[in-house]
Amino acid sequence: MTAGSTYTPIATYTFSGQSSLTFSSIPNTYTDLILIISGSGAGVETMQLRFNGDSGSNYSYTRILGTGSSASSSQSSNQTAAIAGFMDNTQFVDIVQIMNYSNTTSYKIALTRMNVPSSGYVGAWVNLWRNTSAINTVYILPDSGGTFNNGKATLYGIASA
């Protein structure tokens, strides 16, 4: 049974040593986007998230992080990328929800849920991209030069009607 017009796959990467992932030509026919990144990489790294090729200081985020023994939170303004989560060399899963991505009147919000249990991290980010353009490209880059080695990344479209 299909549960309505939701979770339509737009594009998928099967990891094979990529140093970055780019989802381009994203159609504007959905309401929200969901990005699922799971598998293993070269080591523990933060994954940067950019939209439409923008590497300017137009991103900010607030984070809450757990290590299995302590919790912390932080806020960062005027960053050159948002955050798509962490990766490690065991099995991680990061889930990014990008709301109302195709509107041209408001700045864009992305919620990130990060799960890297083997390396001891669980957390969440709320990201803001200060741009009113519709998002047509999503770019993910490990910030220490690592690679995507064994797993998948899929961008899904979610339609509200």
Applying CB under 8 A, the residues found at the interface with another protein are 1-10, 12, 27, 29, 36, 38-40, 64-71, 73, 90-93, 95, 113-118, 120-124, 150-152, 154, 156, 159
Of residues 97, 98, 95, the one with CA closest to residue 116: 95
CB 131 → another protein: shortest distance, Å? 26
What are the tokens at 23? 């989802």
21: which strand partners?
A: 140
CB 123 → another protein: shortest distance, Å? 6
CB 80 → another protein: shortest distance, Å? 26
Cβ neighbours of residue 13 closer than 8 Å, sequence gap 6 or more: 21, 148, 152, 153, 154
What are the tokens at 131? 């741009």
CB 87 → another protein: shortest distance, Å? 11
Nearer to another protein, 23 or 54 (CB): 23
Nearer to another protein, 51 or 86 (CB): 86
Nearer to another protein, 54 or 146 (CB): 146
CB-neighbour burial class of residue 97 (10 A; exposed 0-12, middle 13-18, buried 19+): middle
Residue with tokens 């992305």: 110
Nearer to another protein, 101 or 156 (CB): 156
E strand intervals along 53-120: 59-66, 71-79, 82-87, 92-98, 108-116
CB 74 → another protein: shortest distance, Å? 12
46: which strand partners?
A: 86
Nearer to another protein, 29 or 132 (CB): 29
